[in-house]
Amino acid sequence: MEPGEMLGGRYRLIEPCGQGGMAEVWKAYDTERRLEVAVKVVRPARDLVGQWFDTGHMHQGRAELHGRFRREGEVLAGLSHPGIPELYDRGVHGDRPYIVMRLVKGKSLHWLLENRRPFARSVVIAIAWQIADALACAHAARLVHRDLKPHNVKVDHDGTVVLLDFGIALPLLPGVTRYTAQGTTLGSKGYMAPEQIREDPLTLRTDLYAYGCVVFELFTGRRPFGTEKGLSIVSQHLESAPPSVQEFAPWVSDDIDELILRLLAKEPGDRPPNVQAVLKALKPHLPVPGDPAPDLSIGPDPTLRFRRPEGASSGSDHAARPPVVRRPALARRGGGWISRRNIEEYLAEVGRELAEGAAGSATERLAELLPDARRQFGADPLVRRARRACADSLRIAGECARAGDLYRQQVGDLGRPDAPALQAERLTTLLRVAECRIPLREIESALDGLREVANDVGALPVELAEQVISHCEELGLELAELGYVAEVDEILDPLRRRPPDQEV
């Protein structure tokens, strides 16, 4: 990708902000909202061969990455906290998915530790508390971040501490697809909990260990385990007792020293019970309204929100939150008549609701209007867009039965189109129908849907076929997680065996 390139017809790329294992992040300009945003885009498949998959498993590996990336968007859509970037939009550029988020313009905690230490005591506590507060939001959604480290924390220009990169976050919910194969531990060396290194089942307390490593580094300027002991870092995380923070920072109080030692316990059961306990332990040490500003070389002041007269309270329930924006209800003309402009307005409202975290009243209102819109405009592209938006919103909200009905109506309206793009749309919609059957335990029907698409994808041009096959692999992964590995392989192996860039 190059500066000036447009994504989704509205996001103009400005400059790259960074690159991770599976994605690159760009600063971009949203030409509709007229503000700068962050756009995270999956890296090209050719760049990931050898790192995430080999050439013989191109389709499966790419489908796994796209599935994980799609889940990151769904995760962010369900979180609302000033210390977690808001999700604005999602889309696909060519065959590369992307997500659009709030742009955090500050410095990473890693950069600050390298260039601005030592921090004032009040700054350390304020940063530690804000990280824990953001983590509390994720844990309330039963979400393990899995990659908490200084690189993934930023101090924004207003002093807000922001937790970034939910790319490998794991929802602890029944039936959630595990995109990590055995032997491919995800996380960052130096911050992984022992159970994460051993590939044992993870819990919310797994993040508390990584948090303990980060806070240890905040107080001391060094990680709890290094290479000076002659043992590997991994071995020390598994076997060595952590040092006392007071060994390197004698000014640290006994209760904080004890808290960090508990966070770094080898056994999850020996760590604090939850992140709320951490917030409670840190609260007596926070700056309070009227305290003087610290002597800062860090730049933005993380203590400011606490030193203001309306400073933060004891836990995340009382932490600063963005104001709720209440929009006027969208008007509808009487007599069952609806204009195209009305539909566009409802579509925009549904998009805003999803960007703020979840499906809501706009989805319900638009779904109520769909029968009138269908009768009035027929199988119009705008009606299809509206139905697809409602179906996607309901599916993400877990209302798979209703979403499946809307997807099936979409298939009916598309019929058997001649245009390749519409053929691809029909096949991807059939895959959505199949996906909605899985939570309803209609597994055989889901397999039949996957089989139908796999049989028909050969009619598409290569580029469109690749995109549909990628979606097939994502659905196949979900079915394989439920034990239907042989059935999925039987359906998809003929597509996997074909030479690259050859007609299906």
Which helix or strand (DSSP H or E) is residue 96 part of? Answer: strand 96-102
Q: Can you read off the two tokens belonging to residue 406?
A: 């809307």
Q: Can you read off the two tokens belonging to residue 407?
A: 């997807």
- 255 a catalytic residue: no
Q: Can you read off the two tokens belonging to residue 210?
A: 């990584």
- Give, in order, the Cα–Cα distances in Å from 292 to each of 148, 301, 306, 386, 495: 31, 12, 11, 54, 66
Q: Which of 147, 156, 207, 301 is catalytic?
A: 147
- Give, in order, the Cα–Cα distances in Å from 63 to each of 79, 86, 447, 501: 25, 25, 17, 17
Q: Can you read off the two tokens belonging to residue 174?
A: 């029944």
CA–CA distance, 70 with 426 (Å, rounded to integer): 20
CA–CA distance, 28 with 14 (Å, rounded to integer): 5
Q: Can you read off the two tokens belonging to residue 431?
A: 């895959």
Half-sphere exposure for 243 (CA within 13 Å, toward CB): 16
Q: Can you read off the two tokens belonging to residue 91?
A: 């889309």
Q: Can you read off the two tokens belonging to residue 151?
A: 């690189």
Q: Can you read off the two tokens belonging to residue 209?
A: 């260990």
CA–CA distance, 190 with 147 (Å, rounded to integer): 11
Residues ≥6 apart with Cβ < 8 Å to 149: 110, 188, 190, 191, 210, 213, 214
Residues ≥6 apart with Cβ < 8 Å to 471: 63, 428, 431
The 3 state secondary structure assigned to 16-64 is EEEECCCEEEEEEEECCCCEEEEEEEECCHHHHECCCECHHHHHHHHHH
Taking Cα atoms as reference points, which of 92, 50, 95, 98 lies closest to residue 501? 95
Active site residues per annotation:
147
